[in-house]
Amino acid sequence: MAEAGRTDERPMSPHIQVWKWHATMAASIMHRATGVALYVGMLMISAWLVAAAMGPDAYAPVQALMFSLIGQLILFGFTLAILYHFANGIRHLIWDGPRAGFDPQFASAVSVFNFAFAILGAAAIWSASHFL
């Protein structure tokens, strides 16, 4: 039990002001952010499918939004989120299954790889879809 009246100058729990930023920290935060982005992106795709089922009058404005610049940027971000969350999910499976990859340098390298995989993969997918 904690002593009454004891003053401890250290923070109660680690926070951003205490920790030095590193790749695995950014990867953890990005994994959570992409999970939220995937949720929002699936709502957009669901709205697109519902509009398609409702007929041409409901489908036209949603389709116009999807093919607008802002819609294309959102869909590109959705592609980034899918690829990043996929790659980082595999990393978590390896951590949870065989319990490998905990060496700090290796974990940082995998984190950087996941970022690169998402960016290059999304660029490749969108380039192929627009230029082929």
Output the pLDDT for position 126: 96
Task: Kindly report the length of the chain.
Answer: 132
Output the pLDDT for position 67: 92
Output the pLDDT for position 20: 79
Report the b/e string of 76-105 with b at 16+ CB within 10 A: eebbbbbbbbebbeebeeeeeeeeeeeeee
Average pLDDT, consecutive stretches of 10 residues, N- to C-terminus, the chain (132 residues):
64 69 91 95 94 97 94 95 96 90 92 97 95 82
Q: Cα–Cα–Cα angle for 43, 117, 64, nearest 5°?
A: 35
Distance of CA 83 to the CA centre of its chain: 8
